[in-house]
C-alpha cells in the first residue's frame, strides 16, 4: 500500500470514528433504558478517543483532520437500527466490525513505525467492539464492555 493509499485509509478510519461517535450518542439519546444508554455512551467515548488518535496520525503526515460537512445520522438509519431486535442489531454491528478489522489490519501492516501505536489502537478498538457485540449476543451484557473499558483505561 503506497503512502497516498495509506493516508486515505487513515482518513477513512478517522471519518468512520466521527460517524461512530455521533451514531452511538444518537442511540443513547433515543433509549429510555439507562443501562443501554450507558453502553452506547461508552462506545461513543471509545469512538472519540480512537478518532483523536487517527487525527494525530493525519496531522503527523501534514494532513488536516477536518471535514467541511457535519456528520449526521438520519432518523431513517436510527429507526432501522432501533426498530430491529437487539440481537439483530448486534449481528449487524458484528458484520460491520469484522469488515473494519480486515481493513485496519491492512493499515497496520503498512503503517510507518511512528504510526504503529495509533493504528494498533485502531485495530484493538474494533476488536473490543467485536467482543462487545459477541457478548451482547451471548447475553453476557454484564461483561460486554469489559474490553472497551480496558482499552479506554490503557489507551
One pLDDT digit (tens) per residue for the chain, 155 residues: 576 799 999 999 999 999 999 999 999 998 999 999 999 999 999 999 999 999 999 999 999 888 766 677 777 878 777 888 889 999 999 999 999 999 999 999 999 999 999 999 999 999 999 999 999 999 876 899 999 999 999 97
CA distance 90 to 139: 11
Kindly report the CATH number that applies to the domain delimited by 3-154. 1.20.1260.10
Distances (CA, A) of 122 to 11, 37, 47, 69, 118: 12, 23, 9, 23, 6
CA distance 27 to 12: 22
Quote the crossing angle between the two packed helices 116-137 and 86-110, to the nearest 10°.
Answer: 160
Quote the crossing angle between the two packed helices 3-30 and 34-60, to the nearest 10°.
Answer: 160
Cα dihedral sign, 152-125-20-91: negative
pTM: 0.91
Domain boundaries, the chain: 3-154
Amino acid at each position: 500500500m503506497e503512502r497516498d493509499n495509506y493516508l486515505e485509509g487513515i482518513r477513512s478510519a478517522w471519518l468512520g470514528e466521527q460517524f461512530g461517535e455521533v451514531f452511538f450518542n444518537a442511540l443513547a439519546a433515543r433509549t429510555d433504558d439507562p443501562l443501554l444508554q450507558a453502553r452506547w455512551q461508552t462506545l461513543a467515548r471509545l469512538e472519540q478517543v480512537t478518532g483523536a488518535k487517527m487525527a494525530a496520525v493525519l496531522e503527523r503526515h501534514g494532513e488536516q483532520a477536518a471535514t467541511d460537512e457535519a456528520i449526521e445520522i438520519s432518523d431513517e438509519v436510527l429507526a432501522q437500527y432501533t426498530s430491529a431486535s437487539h440481537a439483530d442489531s448486534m449481528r449487524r454491528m458484528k458484520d460491520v466490525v469484522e469488515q473494519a478489522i480486515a481493513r485496519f489490519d491492512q493499515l497496520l501492516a503498512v503503517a510507518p513505525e511512528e504510526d504503529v501505536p495509533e493504528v494498533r489502537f485502531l485495530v484493538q478498538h474494533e476488536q473490543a467492539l467485536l467482543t462487545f457485540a459477541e457478548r451482547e449476543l451471548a447475553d453476557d451484557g454484564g461483561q460486554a464492555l469489559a474490553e472497551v473499558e480496558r482499552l479506554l483505561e490503557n489507551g
